Amino acid sequence: MKKRGRLMAILLSGALLCGIGTGCTDSNTTESAKADYTWSNVAIGGGGYVTGMEYNPKEEGLVYARTDIGGLYRRKKDTDWVPLTDFLGSDDWGYIGIESVATDPVEPNRVYFAGGTYMNNPAALFASDDYGDTWTRYDVPFHCGGNQSGRGCGERMRVNPNNNKEVWFGSRDSGLWKTEDYGKNWEEVTSFPVTGNYKQESNNIGILWVEFDPASTDLYVGVAMTDGQCIYKSADGGESWTALPANAKGMYPLHASFSTEGKLYLAYSDNCGPNLSPTDGAVCVYDPKTDSFTDITPDLKDGRQGGFGGISVDAQNPDTLVVSTLGWWSDNGDNLYYSKDGGKSWSGLFNLSTKETNYQMDTSEAQWLDWGRGENQAKTGWWVADVNINPFNSDEVMYGTGATIYSTRNITKIDEAPVTIAFDAYGLEETAVFKMIAPPSKDDSPQLYSIMGDLTGFAHMDVTKCPDDAHFMKNGKPNDVDCAFLNPNIAVYTSEEKTSALNFTQDGGKTWQTVAHKPDPAAGGQVAMAADGSTCVWVPGSVSGKPYATNDNGKTWFYVEGLGYNAKIAADRVNPKLFYAACDGLFYVSKDGGYTFTSTGQMVADSAEPITVFGQEGNVWMSSSTLLMYSEDGGESFETVKTLPTVDSIGFGKAKTDDSYPVIYAEGNDGENGYGIYRSEDKGKSWLRINDEQHLFGNLNPKYITGDSNVYGRVYFCTDGRGIVMGDVAQ
């Protein structure tokens, strides 16, 4: 086997990743040691696409989950999911889309992943010998597509169970690679004859998976080839390759799974999903003893649509397997088929032709997953590209969806009783968050309002528990959210969709009323609500975004006088009559509930936004990337804060004592301790960085941060794929 392209490690992360629920300090500064923080998430319960999961076959309970924009997670027996890639920050955010993960079947402490979100970004291979607590990174000359077409295929990376020093990885655009020393050096396997020629949405799909025959030392590789020549076998460690009999042209084996007896089971689709939904598929088994394929496609006349995504064989029962559909957009969701006789006969979760169902969804721990279906139970899920039978528990089939992880509780009883499918994503969070509001909540009002991609947002009654369906917004593509700080049950959010551009609640987000008639055909934009909810000012999201005001939740509207287009607005958190705005480089104030504004004559940066302080009438801060200043007299005068030269966002939280100024939280750089999350308890005179280099949380975009109005020391901030990160002072 010829070798070339040797890759050496260029970075040892040195990152002891403090897991969720542990305190971690920055060893680089003595200041940060004073601010010991515990990091977790506002509980939602997933919210994004879990593209694959891998059980370790030797250590019971050890399983890894990969996501398309939220990094890698680990779960051990009787614990929640723990994020493993928070050491990757904004400079390395491109590695957080996980292409593939491999757990070592010989030494379970070893684990590997391929990181690369998009094909036009750099990719890297990562190796760990301590369950992912620390990683060594190896930069590579090829690319990954962790958030692109074909991201549910796999696994593209696999540890050789016969010699676990070997790890093999199939790339999208540069063929097959391997390491012979636990990942220290990677080499291209130049003997492998193809790289894959099928493209989807202009992206290479390349190698789909790597598998080892447990009954021999043979290696199999699946490739996306348009001629149907998609599976290759090596009996000599990769020195030479033999093409297996071709499958039908235009059919791609997205997943493969060996039985302990050495039969290779394959799930096919006519494209590689999930962005493009397959329209046809097949399930086959290959027997190396006879060098032949047998079609075992489930034929239950159940109205099946689409193709097949994931497939898994039971480690305890070689004739038992499960396969998932991919792209079946039924009202039930995707289907799972289960066979106890090697695919000769099948049982499904549901049958659309006969209207029969044989499952029950248990979303009690994350009820928002019901998605407003009322008496109809939650969908089984969509984009189900990977399924896995727990090697130590044949009743458990874990699978990822576009929103969360589910696991079956009793699938072996599928012919005797309904299969229970339960939410199984405790600790795994993958939303792309836009903004949060944390008012001084009371017993019957939300602790937090949030808006985000895909899910719209939530009114969080308890940030430690996944939201219920009643407080799930569901409707629209949100831009902004605000609430009345004197009555947090009153809130409003804007949406880019014209049919749901403005939405009001009077009951803490339990119900939302969409404004039927708007004064402007535009949608989205900014919104600010008076401290008592009596008035609301809206700046539409358009080039000619002239502000409007309403005092009856959008039934009637008034032109706002005194402001130009695209003003940035905020409401005083104490006095309902006070509103503030920045427009055309000047600061403005309204003293009549937002109907008229006048300039105070104070100049502000064009990019500056007003941020108001709860419990402090007339207090308004102006934040731009290079300038932070504040006023305590409603904008008549400002004082500049020079102690944080770079500041991208600020927010306020409860003070340590009742007579102290609220704690200020910021995303920025003090010039000494690097870019991070900072806290000030003296009105910006000094700052502490409260996160460290092991807690960078990927892509912190959009830049938005806020403290908790009720809990001292608690901070929330947005991420693009890691949900709402929540920090608390360590106990």
φ and ψ at residue 35, rounded to 5 degrees: -115, 75
> Please, what's the largest Cα pairwise distance for the chain?
86
Separation CA 319–CA 189 (nearest Å): 33
The CB-side HSE value for 522 (13 A sphere, CA atoms) comes to 17
Active site residue 606: no
Look at residues 432, 367, 479, 490 and name the one whose alpha carbon lies nearest to residue 699: 432
Rounded to a whole number of angstroms, the distance between the first and last alpha carbons of the chain is 56
Neighbouring C-beta atoms of residue 303, cutoff 10 Å: 14
Q: From the candidates 454, 552, 584, 592, which is the catalytic residue? A: 454
AA identity, residue 41: N
User: Which residue has 């494209």 as its token pair?
Assistant: 271
Which strand (E) or helix (H) includes residue 30? helix 30-33
Instruction: Give the pair of three-digit tokens for residue 283.
Output: 């399930």
* Residues present in the chain in total: 731
Structure-token match 């109205």, residue found: 303
Chain-centroid distance, C-alpha 320: 32
Count of helix runs (H) and strand runs (E) in the chain = 1, 63
Cα separation, 236 vs 621, in Å, equals: 68
Q: For residue 274, is the peptide bond before it cis, meaning its omega torsion is within 30 degrees of 0? A: yes
- Residue whose pair of structure tokens reads 């088994």 in the numeric block: 285
Determine the residue type at 282.
A
Interior angle at CA 357, CA 354 and CA 358, nearest 5: 130
Q: In whole angstroms, what is the distance from residue 555 CA to residue 719 CA?
A: 35
Cα 517 to Cα 456, 476, 496: the distances in Å are 21, 16, 15
Among 232, 328, 311, smallest CA distance to 268 is for 311
Tell me whether residue 454 is one of the annotated catalytic residues: yes
SS3 content of the chain, % helix, strand, coil (to 5): 5, 40, 60
What lies within 8 Å, CB to CB, of 137 at 6+ separation is: 9, 10, 11, 12, 13, 95, 124, 125, 126
Q: Which of 26, 68, 480, 708 is catalytic?
A: 68
Residue with tokens 């199984």: 424
Pairing of strands 11-12, 419-423: unpaired
Catalytic residues: 68, 454
